[in-house]
Structure 1
Amino acid sequence: MSLAVFALCTALVAVAVYRLSRVGHRPAGYPPGPPTLPLIGNLHLMPAEKPHLQFQKWAEEYGPVYSLILGTKVMVVLSSDQAIKDLLDKRSGIYSSRPDMYLGQVVSGGLRMLLMKYGETWRMLRKLVHNNLNIKAARTYVPYQDLENKAMLVGFLESPDLFIDHIRRYTNSLTTQMIFGFRTTSIDDPKLKQLFSGFEKFSEILGKTVAALLDLFPVLRSLPDFALPLRRYAKQLHKKESELYIGHWLNVKKAIKNGTAKPCFCVDLVRAQDEENFSDALAGYVSGSMLEAGSDTTAATLIGFVQAMVLFPEVAKRAQEELDRVCGDHFPTLDDDLPYIQGCIKESMRWMPTAILGVPHAVIRDDEYMGYTIPKGAGMLLNVYAIHNDPKRHPNPRRFDPARYADDHQTAAEAAKNSNAAMRDHFLFGAGRRLCQGMHIAERSLFFAMARLLWAFDFHPARDANGNDIVPDPNDLTEGMLVQPKAFPAYITPRDEGKAARVKEEWDKMGDLLDEELQWKVLPDGLIWKKYNNATKPA
């Protein structure tokens, strides 16, 4: 070997060693953060359980914008309302993509809108979804919400121990009507159970350490499945999930084409597929993503609300005093002025945020903020729990107190758009162009549920065999990207015989609207969907 070649090889090795030595190092100018180790950065510090608590501690130590160096990747954590407003809202043009979430994409077949990177396909789908979930469209779904809420109340009356199941059927049936045109009539519906079980497992996978390692060190993805059992499990979940979502889609698509389907979102989705020629798999996941979004987050928030009513009986009492004063013997409706109930809605989403650390965004080019460098491709984490539990923003934050919002009459959408970041009520619905488009519907569903449950029922701790109260722990949450309280018992009873009778009467009135299979005989007036014109495309 010549001296020149030897010198070149030595120089290349030196450069490679130097570059390798910088992996895991926090470059100068990046936001501050915990001390790093070579190669792995802060990876060794990432908690396996309850990550929101550690992220909150780091925010207290390093400030509203800090960084985590995770191997070859950078995660910038936004822990203040102002930082989220300045970056994810005001600079949404470059902060609306998603970081790599490899195992999440395996489960989703690369088709789930939630994880989809910012681009032409996502923008096309977002526009389609917006047209069906905007505030004008949301008003037309109120008859669905009214019907399903009354069915839920009967469920609470007849089998209160199954309150979680009744809540999930309520949110799921509302969504299946909007998306596919049919009601989910039973808490034992196997597709209902599969949806919630599957989405919980999907969320758990995204929170696993192995999932993070595969994102941070892509070379590990070349390992065979026997060496990556979590990926093998993810593939199994995808098979079951795609059967559910694409199966729903193909069934309703066939009915739409032959003219037997009821009006629903999928009518517009079929029309869009005719125009854009995208696959049935993508269409299945678009409709399936909306199904899981409309079913899971609202249900989880309501489960948290029930827990809060058990833990804070003084809140339930004050809400019932407002309901009795305003509504008397009639069911609460959207026309009733119930500011404390509206406060319960906002406080539920603050106190028990299901997207406890948000869903990460990604920046698509280098940027600068507060004098810090934010590199292209960095993940941007919404530290929702830390913001919601900042005592300067919300004094005594672990107390459930709807009176915090006594002077806040904004809808969630209005709060998210408020130019004053401090005036935003909560961050459950995300930020920027990734803001949840179903928030108008979710807020109404929460209103119907919270107002009428408190109007009709009392909530107390369940008791064990010795007569002792079983007090649920609000910190005992499921793990994963999306969380909720772990299952807990509650003792739920009608407030009086008159209200129990009224719940039955209101449901009996619905009988005239439903056929023998408990599906709508004739759909409510005002729904936004147009009929499908089958003349343009063959089935």
Structure 2
Amino acid sequence: MTAPRPLHTIAGPKGLPLIGNAHQIRNEQFHAQLESWAREWGPVYSFAIGARKFLCITQSDAIESVLRRRPAVFRRSSRLDQIASDTRFVGVFSANGDTWRRQRPMVTAGLDPTHVRAFMPVLSEVTGALRQRWETAAQDGQEIDLLADLMRFTVDVTTSLAFGQNLHTLEETDDTHLIQQHLNVIFPMMLRRLLAPVDVEHWMVRKETRLHLEALRKAVLGFIDRARAELRADPELRSRPRNLLQAMLVACESETGITEDDLVGNVFTILLAGEDTTASTVAWLLWLLHQHPDKLQQARAEALAVLGEDPQASRWEQLQAMEFIQACAQETLRLKPVAPLIINEANEDAVVADVLVPKGSFVMCVMRPAGLDAREIVDAASFSPGRWVDQGAMAAAARHATMPFGSGPRICPGRYLALAEIKAVASMILTRFDLDDLATNSPTEKFTFVMAPVGLRSRPRVRQSAAASRQPQALA
């Protein structure tokens, strides 16, 4: 049996003394840079940021082997631990070890399919609010920022489901008081600190960051105070909580070991994770459909058939029937993954792709290349949602190569909600609006922990059939 290769012998882009490859990194294009290095150096290569050594892998088998060994052998990075501690928001995303094991059941219990299904009336209501916003924009001939409006949608959905409080950001006419203004600085701050050779912001916090964090903490504590008041007013909610926050408060007060810090950290985590990821996926999905008119018409036909006269989905069974639209979402996540890389730190010496990774070193899982590998996936470069409907080898290969929600014990607990949101909002837009000018947009990829499209704008037009359905019928 061949001995594993030491990490220091693995080739990769040449760095400089002390700082390694830090001078070559551009944060907002970091995912594309890692993919470019993989094309140059192969599916297994190394690089360094300061004293931190990274093994970079792109093959799905190697990636899955790492993800399935979390949290025992691999963990979130200690730098992320420090960031979470500094911001006083330690949630299930950043937590490790016993903290993660304590928090995970509390969060996943409220995001399973049963709870998401029960949330359908509120999901329909928020989808209707986006529809009304775009109808107003269409009437006024206004241009919309697609991603910004979809982020309003996801914030309203997330706060309604998790906290029982719709913030109604879709009804705001400006950005002055939006919680997104505070959330939008967090991912860039985290990425900046993670990729810095020395984490200077641990000692010297930027004033802007501090002010946004203080505003977010005030908002989080407000959610918690309101939920506590609801529990006091109706003690029966302790046995039948109506939202995730009420359930977490009950757990916090029981003998489960859940602390106040766990509660605050996970309220923040749900807010942060529930905004950018789903909104970016829907934005990429709509753009890809408008690049492929035949697929656009197929998705629209399915949505029209399922929704009938309904302006948006109102029943869980309608979402379940949207097989092709879900396939479009899966294909979008293959081509435009919103989580294009996952950073892991070794808790112990471990072998990855025949390389010995010492304890304290890092494995960078770059997620997109495996899903674009023409040796594994037929017509890999094309937008072909039908591959996900097929039950044969084509679908099996695509599923094996792509892991948009991760894999193993730390797989994303919000995946059921994300897919429900995607189908609800995409089907409404497809049936109610034309976005003709979206096909001429040329968005760029921007990475700030989430890979989002920049530059997607459109002037929505209400489809004639949708406008007619709102007109009162003449008396016979």
Per the alignment, in what secondary structure is the counterpart of residue 485 of structure 1? strand
Contact 2:27 2:195 in 1 (8 A): no
Per the alignment, in what secondary structure is the counterpart of residue 373 of structure 1? strand
Per the alignment, in what secondary structure is the counterpart of residue 76 of structure 1? strand
Q: CA deviation at 1:364?
A: 0.8
Q: 1:28 to 1:365 in 2, by over 3 A?
A: closer
The equivalent of 1:197 in structure 2 is: 181
**Which amino acid in 2 is paired with 1:444?**
A
The equivalent of 2:267 in structure 1 is: 287
Q: How many residues align?
A: 452
Could you list the runs of 4 or more consecutive aligned residues of structure 1 that deviate by over 6 angstroms after TM superposition? none
How large is the RMSD of aligned CA atoms in angstroms? 3.4
Q: How does 1:93-112 map to 2 (within 5 A)?
A: 93-101=72-80, 104-105=83-84, 108-112=87-91
Q: 1:168 to 1:422 in 2, by over 3 A?
A: closer
Contact 1:181 1:263 in 2 (8 A): yes
Note the alpha carbon deviations across 1:382-412, whole angstroms, 9 max, x for none: 21233344344456656433233231599xx
Note the alpha carbon deviations across 1:236-285, whole angstroms, 9 max, x for none: 33222212222222232233233398821122211122125655444222
Say yes or no: does 1:169 pair with 2:137.
no
Q: 1:255 to 1:327 in 2, by over 3 A?
A: closer
Q: 1:335 aligns with which of 304, 307, 317?
A: 317
Structure 1 spans left out of the alignment, 5+ residues: 1-25, 463-469, 506-539
Q: 1:156 aligns with which of 117, 129, 134?
A: 134
Q: 1:397 to 1:237 in 2, by over 3 A?
A: farther
Q: 1:273 aligns with which of 235, 252, 265?
A: 252
Q: 2:361 aligns with which of 371, 378, 403?
A: 378
Contact 1:343 1:402 in 2 (8 A): yes
Q: CA deviation at 1:440?
A: 0.8
Q: CA deviation at 1:47?
A: 3.1
The equivalent of 1:301 in structure 2 is: 281
Q: 1:492 aligns with which of 451, 460, 463?
A: 460
Q: 1:65 to 1:92 in 2, by over 3 A?
A: farther
Partners of 1:406 and 1:314 in 2: CA distance: 16
Q: CA deviation at 1:36?
A: 3.7
Partners of 1:100 and 1:433 in 2: CA distance: 21
Q: How does 1:62-461 map to 2 (within 5 A)?
A: 62-89=41-68, 93-101=72-80, 104-105=83-84, 108-116=87-95, 118-160=96-138, 161-162=143-144, 163-189=146-172, 194-208=178-192, 211-213=194-196, 216-217=197-198, 225=204, 231-259=206-234, 263-275=242-254, 276=256, 280-324=260-304, 329=309, 334-335=316-317, 337-358=321-342, 360-394=343-377, 399-407=382-390, 423-424=399-400, 426-461=402-437
Contact 2:71 2:97 in 1 (8 A): no
Identify which range, 68-77 or 86-95, moves more after superposition: 86-95
Per the alignment, in what secondary structure is the counterpart of residue 461 of structure 1? helix
Partners of 1:292 and 1:217 in 2: CA distance: 25
**Which amino acid in 1 is paired with 2:317?**
D
Partners of 2:110 and 2:471 in 1: CA distance: 32
Partners of 2:280 and 2:350 in 1: CA distance: 36
Identify which range, 102-111 or 434-443, moves more after superposition: 102-111
Q: How does 1:10-89 map to 2 (within 5 A)?
A: 31-89=10-68
Q: 1:348 to 1:193 in 2, by over 3 A?
A: farther
Q: CA deviation at 1:204?
A: 1.3
Q: CA deviation at 1:461?
A: 0.8
Per the alignment, in what secondary structure is the counterpart of residue 382 of structure 1? strand
Partners of 1:490 and 1:436 in 2: CA distance: 31
Contact 2:137 2:460 in 1 (8 A): no
Note the alpha carbon deviations across 1:504-523, whole angstroms, 9 max, x for none: 99xxxxxxxxxxxxxxxxxx
Q: How does 1:446-525 map to 2 (within 5 A)?
A: 446-461=422-437, 471-474=440-443, 476-496=444-464, 498-502=465-469
Q: 1:292 to 1:49 in 2, by over 3 A?
A: closer
Identify which range, 334-343 or 136-145, moves more after superposition: 334-343
Q: CA deviation at 1:113?
A: 3.1
Contact 2:325 2:423 in 1 (8 A): yes
Partners of 1:322 and 1:258 in 2: CA distance: 45
**Which amino acid in 1 is paired with 2:157?**
L
Normalising by structure 2, report the TM-score: 0.83
**Which amino acid in 2 is paired with 1:243?**
K
Q: CA deviation at 1:129?
A: 0.6
Contact 1:42 1:68 in 2 (8 A): yes
Partners of 2:276 and 2:60 in 1: CA distance: 25
Partners of 1:440 and 1:197 in 2: CA distance: 26
Contact 2:406 2:412 in 1 (8 A): yes
Contact 2:74 2:346 in 1 (8 A): yes
Partners of 1:327 and 1:138 in 2: CA distance: 19
Contact 1:97 1:362 in 2 (8 A): yes
Partners of 1:38 and 1:382 in 2: CA distance: 25
Q: CA deviation at 1:66?
A: 2.3
Q: CA deviation at 1:453?
A: 1.7
Identical amino acids, percent of aligned pairs = 21
Q: 1:100 to 1:494 in 2, by over 3 A?
A: same
Greater C-alpha Rg: 1
Contact 2:31 2:340 in 1 (8 A): yes
Higher relative contact order (CA 8 A, sep 6+): 2
Normalising by structure 1, report the TM-score: 0.74
Q: 1:353 to 1:221 in 2, by over 3 A?
A: closer
Contact 2:280 2:452 in 1 (8 A): yes
Note the alpha carbon deviations across 1:40-65, whole angstroms, 9 max, x for none: 23323323441222211222233323
Partners of 1:451 and 1:126 in 2: CA distance: 32
Q: 1:90 to 1:101 in 2, by over 3 A?
A: closer
Q: CA deviation at 1:437?
A: 0.3
Partners of 2:113 and 2:41 in 1: CA distance: 39
**Which amino acid in 2 is paired with 1:125?**
Q
The equivalent of 1:537 in structure 2 is: none
Structure 2 spans left out of the alignment, 5+ residues: none
Partners of 2:136 and 2:201 in 1: CA distance: 50
Q: 1:341 to 1:43 in 2, by over 3 A?
A: same
